[in-house]
């Protein structure tokens, strides 16, 4: 069933396993216990940071497969992406698995995009078992989007800390919670923000657009959900999102959770406006929210990861930062009983 941008999934596919991988910084934050694998070495025993990010992807996939008691040949399609040029963190990270592969680029929204595609493929009968994986790495993102670490550039108060983390999950038609009950495909939203150190301001309108679209399409409201989870808006973007809903007479503050505000300790860690990166929302969904939904401790969430679809080159040419947000309704109940 389709309601404009929102797709109601008639067969409500299950997320049968998920895994989160992190680094030293992530382990020292308040969510450290929710990672399946922690690596204290930022190189992940590789020779470069980029090669290390490939290991994040590989570890996340292996942990998710192990939890699902599956082998790589059991997977019909793997959706994956990251922040690096040509998504090389994913390509080189998963190449040895020899799974049918579709690469994605949604920037920090990639976990939502990957779960959306996996769910639609399984729901439509195009795959029996699908996977989604994503990652980010502080050092690789700094080199690509800003400056190499040895440049020693000063970070602005609105800047966010790219998580050295990743997440992977497995989706199938198996009837066990949690279930993906609906998804909303986001539209590109560009409000003219040009500051690459203020991603929260660029992405918040995209999150507002997609979440609002879901409510308009379904007739549901924030009261129908335990949490409305956004990906990596941080302090600035979260405030803007709540203010945008305030203008519509809707207060989401009691239900809003942002992965960029969850993953680090603002008092003990120097992360400025919060966490960011594909691995931030990916690891929080896979490590924290999915297990809570499976256990029934949380019953219903909207997961709306956000991404800034920018290129450093075109941004330096004076262009603004287009953003996107894709949304999933994930529930402990299938709705088909």
Residue entry with tokens 């129908």: 224
Residue 206 has pLDDT above 50, yes or no: yes
- % of the chain with per-residue pLDDT over 90: 86
| Exposed e or buried b per residue across 180-207, where buried means at least 16 C-beta atoms within 10 angstroms of its C-beta | bbbbbbbeebeeebeebbbbbbbbbbbb
Residue 270 has pLDDT above 90, yes or no: no
Residue 158 has pLDDT above 90, yes or no: no
pLDDT digits (tens, 9 = 90+) for 120-155: 999 999 999 999 999 999 999 887 776 665 545 566
* Chosen CATH of 13-172 out of 3.40.470.10, 3.40.190.10, 3.40.47.40, 3.60.150.10: 3.40.47.40
Residue 14 has pLDDT above 60, yes or no: yes
Which CATH number is associated with domain 179-331? Answer: 3.40.47.40
> Which pLDDT score is estimated for 147?
60
Residue entry with tokens 């080199």: 143
* Mean pLDDT, residues 251-278: 94
d(CA 127, CA 124): 8
pLDDT digits (tens, 9 = 90+) for 295-311: 999 999 999 999 999 88
pLDDT digits (tens, 9 = 90+) for 44-100: 999 999 999 999 999 999 999 999 999 999 999 999 999 999 999 999 999 999 999
> Which pLDDT score is estimated for 311?
85
> Which pLDDT score is estimated for 122?
98
Radius of gyration over every alpha carbon of the chain, rounded to an integer in angstroms: 18
> Between these two residues, 175 and 54, which has the higher pLDDT value?
54
* Mean pLDDT, residues 223-249: 97
Common-topology check for domains 13-172 and 179-331: yes
| Residue in 110, 58, 70, 129 with CA at minimum distance from that of residue 232 | 110
* Mean pLDDT, residues 111-115: 98
Q: What predicted TM-score, i.e. pTM, was given to this entire model?
A: 0.95
Residue 225 has pLDDT above 60, yes or no: yes
How confident is residue 159, by pLDDT bands cut at 50, 70 and 90? confident
Question: For the chain, what are the domain ranges?
Answer: 13-172, 179-331
Residue 1 has pLDDT above 50, yes or no: no
* Mean pLDDT, residues 321-336: 95
Q: What is the mean pLDDT of the chain?
A: 94
Q: Is the dihedral angle over the CA atoms 307, 309, 313, 315 positive or is it negative?
A: negative
């Amino acid at each position: 069933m389709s309601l404009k941008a929102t797709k109601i999934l008639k067969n409500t596919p299950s997320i049968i396993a998920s895994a989160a991988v992190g680094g030293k910084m992530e382990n020292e934050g308040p969510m450290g216990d929710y990672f399946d694998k922690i690596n204290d070495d930022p190189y992940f025993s590789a020779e470069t940071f980029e090669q290390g990010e490939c290991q994040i992807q590989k570890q996340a996939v292996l942990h998710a497969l192990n939890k699902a008691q599956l082998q790589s040949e059991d997977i019909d399609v793997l959706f994956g992406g990251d922040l690096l040029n040509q998504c090389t963190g994913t390509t080189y990270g998963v190449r040895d698995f020899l799974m049918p592969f579709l690469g994605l680029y949604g920037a920090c929204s990639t976990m939502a995009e990957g779960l959306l595609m996996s769910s639609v493929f399984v729901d439509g009968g195009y795959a029996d078992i699908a996977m989604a994986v994503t990652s980010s790495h502080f050092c690789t993102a700094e080199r690509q989007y800003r400056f190499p670490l040895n440049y020693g550039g000063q970070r602005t108060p609105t800047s966010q800390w790219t998580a050295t983390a990743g997440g992977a999950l497995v989706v199938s038609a198996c009837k066990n919670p949690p279930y993906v009950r609906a998804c909303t495909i986001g539209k590109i939203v560009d409000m003219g923000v040009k500051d690459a150190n203020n991603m929260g301001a660029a992405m918040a309108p995209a999150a507002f657009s997609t979440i609002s679209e879901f409510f308009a399409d379904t007739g549901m409201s924030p009261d129908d959900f335990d949490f409305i989870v956004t990906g990596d808006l941080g302090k600035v973007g979260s405030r803007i999102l709540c203010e945008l809903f305030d203008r519509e007479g809707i207060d989401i503050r009691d239900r809003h959770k942002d992965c960029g505000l969850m993953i680090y300790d603002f008092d003990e860690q120097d992360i400025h406006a919060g966490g960011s990166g594909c691995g931030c929302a990916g690891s929080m969904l896979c490590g924290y929210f999915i297990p809570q939904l499976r256990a029934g401790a949380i019953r219903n969430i909207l997961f709306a990861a956000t991404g800034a679809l920018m290129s450093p080159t075109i941004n330096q040419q004076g262009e603004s930062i287009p953003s996107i947000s894709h949304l999933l309704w994930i529930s402990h109940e299938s709705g088909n009983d």
